[in-house]
Amino acid sequence: MLPRDRLIVALDVPGAAEAKSLIETLGDSVGVYKIGLELLFSGGFALAQELARHGRPIFIDAKLLDIEATVERATAAIARSGAAFLTVHALDCKTLDAAVRGRGDSALKLLGITVLTNLSPADLIEQCCDHPLAELVRHRAKLTKEAGFDGVVASGHEAAQIREVVGREFLIVTPGIRPQGAEAQDQARAVTPRAAIGAGADYLVVGRPITRAPDPRAAAEAIVGEIAAALAR
Ligand code: C5P
């Protein structure tokens, strides 16, 4: 896998036209395009199908969480689109098992969301959860692996601890990436590309630091350079 294959760009834009223009600008400088809730509800699913038909690995960030029948059938529908990755909230085994059934024998890789990277320990207390954040992340990573998922989505702060629980082959996908000196915005547990790779992340998810940069391609290339340097270390 080349360093650029490890970069997943979040196409958090209002419509397919804006997404296509970003894809044209970024071209092959990034490996995977992620389509999240904003774009999914404004033409993004049709775009995902089109890109997948052209052989692009597409990440559907649907963050599924619902009753089992719904999760199973939604996962099956997403698998039929030809997407490469899908996210599901890793809260309980019923949800995870339903997604595994829905994936069937397709090539769709399932990723469990552990604890969103915008949440801090104080936000967990608001949810009536008094477990330490890192413990909750490890617990959810274990559930996700036992269910037969391919990996987890987790912040760089917890990647090294997850690696100890899940072993080498399980994928760790890390959002909340901010190059040195960049603004954290709404991310509470942000890390640099170098720190995330150093902690054991396989893929980095980057949105605004690339999509809102004055020169998105140069921003993507700089992050790929940082990934390559971290891997070489
Ligand atoms: O712009 P920024 O780099 O913060 O975008 C991060 C992307 O990763 C967003 O699309 C967000 O929905 C997604 N994400 C996240 N934290 C997670 C899972 C997904 O930030 N735990």
Mean pLDDT value across residues 82-103: 98
Catalytic residue among 20, 34, 63, 94: 63
Predicted local confidence at residue 78, as pLDDT: 98
Predicted local confidence at residue 16, as pLDDT: 97
Whether 14 has a pLDDT exceeding 90, the answer reads yes
How far apart, in whole angstroms, are the C-alpha atoms of residue 203 and residue 72? Answer: 26
Mean pLDDT value across residues 118-147: 93
pTM of the model: 0.96
Mean pLDDT, rounded, of the chain: 96
Q: Ligand 1: does its nearest atom lie under 6 Å from the Cβ of 190?
A: no
The band of 189, judged by pLDDT with boundaries at 50, 70 and 90, is confident
3-state secondary structure the chain: CCHHHHEEEECCCCCHHHHHHHHHHHHHHCCEEEECHHHHHHHHHHHHHHHHHCCCCEEEEEEECCCHHHHHHHHHHHHHCCCCEEEEECCCHHHHHHHHHHHCCCCCEEEEECCCCCCCHHHHHHCCCCCCHHHHHHHHHHHHHHHCCCEEECCHHHHHHHHHHHCCCCEEEECCECCCCCCCCCCCCCECHHHHHHCCCCEEEECHHHHCCCCHHHHHHHHHHHHHHHHHC
Nearest CA to ligand 1 atom 14: 175
Q: Ligand 1: does its nearest atom lie under 6 Å from the Cβ of 12?
A: yes
Contact 228, 3 (CB under 8 A): yes
The band of 182, judged by pLDDT with boundaries at 50, 70 and 90, is confident
What does the pLDDT look like over 34-49, one tens digit per residue? Answer: 999 999 999 999 999 9
What is the 155 CA–ligand 1 centroid distance (Å)? 10
Q: Ligand 1: does its nearest atom lie under 6 Å from the Cβ of 208?
A: yes
Contact 113, 63 (CB under 8 A): yes
What is the 62 CA–ligand 1 centroid distance (Å)? 12
What does the pLDDT look like over 103-118, one tens digit per residue? Answer: 999 999 999 999 998 9
Q: Ligand 1: does its nearest atom lie under 6 Å from the Cβ of 152?
A: no
**63: annotated active-site residue:** yes
